[in-house]
Structure 1
């Protein structure tokens, strides 16, 4: 596995080593020790989640607050998404900065999203199966979000906003200014 730094502090793009032969492919999707040696970050993941979305579905931008803030490793099992993260850590040199990557079932890339980041994705294929590991359990009272189309973030979702399928909850998220001033 190759772990690459992104422009955001503590956020990494993970490119797996893929073994292919006449039977198909094999890859290692997670190796705690190797990831810790490469990044200096060692997490114990306690919850795996999966969502299935159709073309145009946008989920995000979500995060957990306080003691339930989550580090995640996200990946696409099937399909293609644009995956977006926002650094919300006030003490970070990349505070309020964004990063996006295409994750799909061809490149099999994963994104290491540290706690203190908002995360979202938009399905660019007919269907996507999206999986993520979390180092803390989901806690409804700690759930928070930022509006997906915040003008201060200027995120390029690679998709027309009028065609996005977005939950009512995600349409009502606050702006970055409303949360952080």
Structure 2
């Protein structure tokens, strides 16, 4: 795997090495030793799988409050998504900065998201499926978010948002 640092400290685009021939392909999506090299030592305790039907749908920006802050590893297994993270760590040099990347079934890239980041995405195609690894269990009382269109963040979503949940519309502005 190739770990490419993003401009936000501690986050990485992860590109698996794909081995293939006329039969198909094989790739590793996690190796404890490889991830330890970027400082990841926590166990993945939960995996989630989401499906988004309609291109332009926007989900986010979600995170869990400490002590349930979580590391995420996000992979797209169908379609394509514009995956976005925001650094919410007040002591960070990149506090309130965002980074976005296209992850897709075809490019096979994953996004490694440290604790203290908000995460969201926009479906770039119909029928998008994402698989998430989490370092903490989902804890409803710790669930939080920031508004996807917060003027302080100025996230540049690639498409007009066509579907946003009521919950995501109610997230506070910074």
TM-score category, normalised to shorter length: over 0.9
SS of residue matched to 1:63: strand
Contact 1:76 1:128 in 2 (8 A): yes
Q: Answer 1 or 2: which has greater helix percent.
A: 1
Q: How many residues align?
A: 173
Partner Cα distance (1:27, 1:125) in 2: 24
> Pick from 158, 165, 175: which aligns with 2:173?
175
SS of residue matched to 1:33: helix
Where do 5+ consecutive residues of structure 1 fail to align? 177-181
CA-to-partner distance for each residue in 1:115-135, whole Å, 9 max, x for gaps? 100000111111111010000
CA-to-partner distance for each residue in 1:117-166, whole Å, 9 max, x for gaps? 000011111111101000000000000000001111111110013xx200
Q: Does 1:59 align with 2:59?
A: yes
Give the alignment of 1:93-108 within 5 angstroms.
93-108=93-108
Q: Does 1:29 align with 2:29?
A: yes
SS of residue matched to 1:14: strand
Partner Cα distance (1:25, 1:78) in 2: 16
CA RMSD of aligned residues (A): 0.8
Consecutive aligned runs of 4 or more in structure 1 exceeding 6 Å deviation: none
SS of residue matched to 2:67: helix
Where do 5+ consecutive residues of structure 2 fail to align? none
Partner of 1:9: 9
Contact 1:53 1:128 in 2 (8 A): yes
SS of residue matched to 1:170: helix
TM superposition shift of 1:41: 2.6
Partner Cα distance (2:167, 2:129) in 1: 21
Partner Cα distance (1:66, 1:126) in 2: 34
Partner of 1:45: 44
Give the alignment of 1:109-148 within 5 angstroms.
109-148=109-148
Q: Give the alignment's TM-score, normalised by structure 1.
A: 0.93
SS of residue matched to 1:89: coil
Q: Give the alignment's TM-score, normalised by structure 2.
A: 0.97
Partner Cα distance (2:39, 2:115) in 1: 15
